[in-house]
Amino acid sequence: MQPNDWDERYRASQSVWSLEPNQFVVEKLSDLPAGSMVDLAGGEGRNALWFASRGWEVENVEFSKVALEKFQERATDQKLKVRANLADARSAKFSFDPDLIVIAYLQLPWEQLKLALDNALNQQSSGVIFGVWHARENLRSGYGGPQSERVLPSAGQLEAWLLEHGISGRVEHRGRDVQTDKGIRQAIDLTMLIRR
């Protein structure tokens, strides 16, 4: 999808995503001391807003102008100071060298996702990178997410990327409960945590 397509999607509803931060972001990162963070392809900025409310300096990098407008409106409503950066995750230039980069559900074909990961890595001298994606296992035994393997990274791809860059990190599959009209279903996510 192109930026205009996402603009239309964000215009079509008050909130495309949950207002709450991703559960794995909270679980894995809530113990970090406040610093600076980039929410890469952060959409309406639910994760960035959560960090800002905890005293972090935050920047939401997003290529949908409408999503960034919603992000800034929510930040104003919550009296939070934030930065909005209208840019593509694959080539964006951050405003600072972040202590933390969060990449939540950036579902791109692998070669494009690698560009975004490389771009993020090259702009951080040290710190934490945390990514979460819909896993391709959802196509067979999970629930939700894109229904094309093309935009669902595998654990093997992420582990190979870590190896290619000589980085130590943890890649794991995680279950996430999703409330549907037919009851609770289990989605399978893929997470990657790097501390360097």
Q: Give pLDDT tens digits for 60-88.
A: 999 999 999 999 999 999 999 999 999 99
pLDDT of residue 17: 52
pLDDT of residue 172: 98
Strand partners, 169: 194
pLDDT of residue 19: 78
Pinpoint the alpha helices (H) of 16-147: 23-29, 46-53, 65-77, 110-122
Residues with pLDDT less than 70, the chain: 1, 3-18
Is 64:10 a contact under the CB 8 Å cutoff?
yes
Cα–Cα distance for residue pair 54/61, rounded to 1 Å = 19
Domains present along the chain, CATH in parentheses: 1-12+42-88 (no CATH), 105-196 (3.40.50.150)
Does the reported pTM lie above 0.85? yes
pLDDT per residue as tens digits for the range 125-151: 999 999 999 999 999 999 999 999 999
Counting Cα atoms < 13 Å in the Cβ hemisphere of 189 gives 20
**Phi and psi dihedrals of 148, rounded to 5?**
-130, 120
**Phi and psi dihedrals of 115, rounded to 5?**
-60, -45
